[in-house]
Structure 1
Amino acid sequence: MAQEEKIVIQGPAGVLEARHQPAQQQRLGLLMCHPHPLFHGTMDNKVVTTVTRTAAGLGLPTLRFNFRGVGSSDGTHDHGVGEQDDVLAALNYCYETLGWQAVILAGFSFGAGMACLASCRQPQGIAALLLLAPAVHHFDAPNQLPYEFETYVYMGDDDEVVPFDEVESWAGLVVPTPHFQVFEQGGHFFHGRLTDLKASLMDDLSPILSAHGVL
């Protein structure tokens, strides 16, 4: 497996610090968004790296990045407005610079919200949307998701940061209905459950990879 490389992405507020792990194939890759910048969220969060390493282990190229104002990324925190544009800039980098034909877009907590909203603005080319503990109480969660791809929600029922009931309610009302994986006694950061999360991701990603000729 190739090593991750440090790169920068030109974003709307300046450059975005990022890590790209190449793979032999470029038909499908995974882009991962990190949790809330004001609560120490960065692209080095262990849930973020668990997702990218799982994807890389399946033969996918991956990209993770720091939102504006985080780490070495330019700009300042924009309360979920400009951060959506950061996701779109990263998506465009995947297509135009890395040459990916399709992207599995993923996010954790705040990052899940930004990924969700960005996918609604630009659904073309997205192969699947993975939302881990989406902070639906912190962003204007849509009533409708794009029909171009399937959405997967991963949630611990003992989440101490994002109210489980609110995510469960949203997942039950939004259309089309997302896949909803509940981790019993799982907390927000999936402490002690990262192995289970990895297994669930592998199960869900395998048919997506097959559909794109990766497996």
Structure 2
Amino acid sequence: MPEVIFPGPEGRLEGRYHPQKDRDAPIAIVLHPHPQFGGTMNNRVVYNLHYAFYEMGFSVLRFNFRGVGRSQGEYDQGVGELSDAASALDYLQTQNSNSKHCWVAGFSFGAWIGMQLLMRRPEITGFVSVSPLAGMYDFSFLAPCPSSGLILNGAADRVAPPADTHGLVGKLKEQKGITITHEEIAGAGHFFEDPYMDPMIDTVKGYVTRRLTETSR
């Protein structure tokens, strides 16, 4: 797998980048869970999301936030991590200047960062938020949410209770001009341990493929 090092706000950031041969391929970045609770770009959910996007024809980048792995800097309460994500997107765009579609996917803490990035980067055309920590973090900045996307959670999630996710989805669905799709995987916990990983990834693939088909008509 191609390792990449690219400049971030606090020094270098370590990533894994899978380009497509097609110069016009859509692009996606995948954001990992909380750095202080063992979250890295090699988390199983992040790894599987990365390959799901690659298999759908995306050029994909996942990376370690500051202070994780070989990425320089220290944990910064989400503020610096948002800047890291912006730098990652900058890097991905310089490698793919012809791309028409840009997606962001995040898991847990990464979903919160991804939704903030969505607010700052109008070129992002779609998002996937897996197990968002809707009760732990404030998502009120999504006013309005600028893009349609998929929010996905496990029905047996004890880290991010489903009721909190339902509340977030309910607020977003009241907004006009976007479509929020919500899927809940019965029996799955926060980390989608087997046998729930495959159904989650299949749900993501089905949603993203449908969106790409709609935009190409």
Mark yes or no: TM-score above 0.5: yes
Measure the CA separation in 2 of the matches of 1:63 and 1:157.
29
**RMSD of Structure 2 on Structure 1 (CA):** 1.7
Residue 212 of structure 1: CA displacement? 5.3
Residue from 6, 11, 16 that aligns with 2:8 = 11
Q: Work out the CA distance in 1 between the residues paired with 2:64 and 2:105.
A: 14
Q: Secondary structure at the match of 2:206?
A: helix
For 2:17, what is the secondary structure of its paired residue? strand
Deviations 1:62-103 (A, max 9, x none): 100000000000000001111111111111111123334431
Structure 1: gaps of 5 or more residues: none
Counting aligned pairs with the same residue, the percent is 29
The residue correspondences of 1:61-140 to structure 2 (distance < 5 A) are 61-99=59-97, 100-122=99-121, 124-140=122-138
Provide the aligned length of Structure 1 versus Structure 2: 209
Name the structure 2 match of 1:165.
163
- TM-score (normalised: structure 2): 0.90
Shift of 1:21: 0.5
Large movers: runs of 4+ above 3 Å: none
1:40 Cα offset (Å): 0.2
Counterpart of 2:123 in structure 1: which amino acid? G
Letter in 1 for 2:61: L
Partner Cα distance (1:82, 1:70) in 2: 13
3-state SS of the aligned residue for 2:189?
Answer: coil
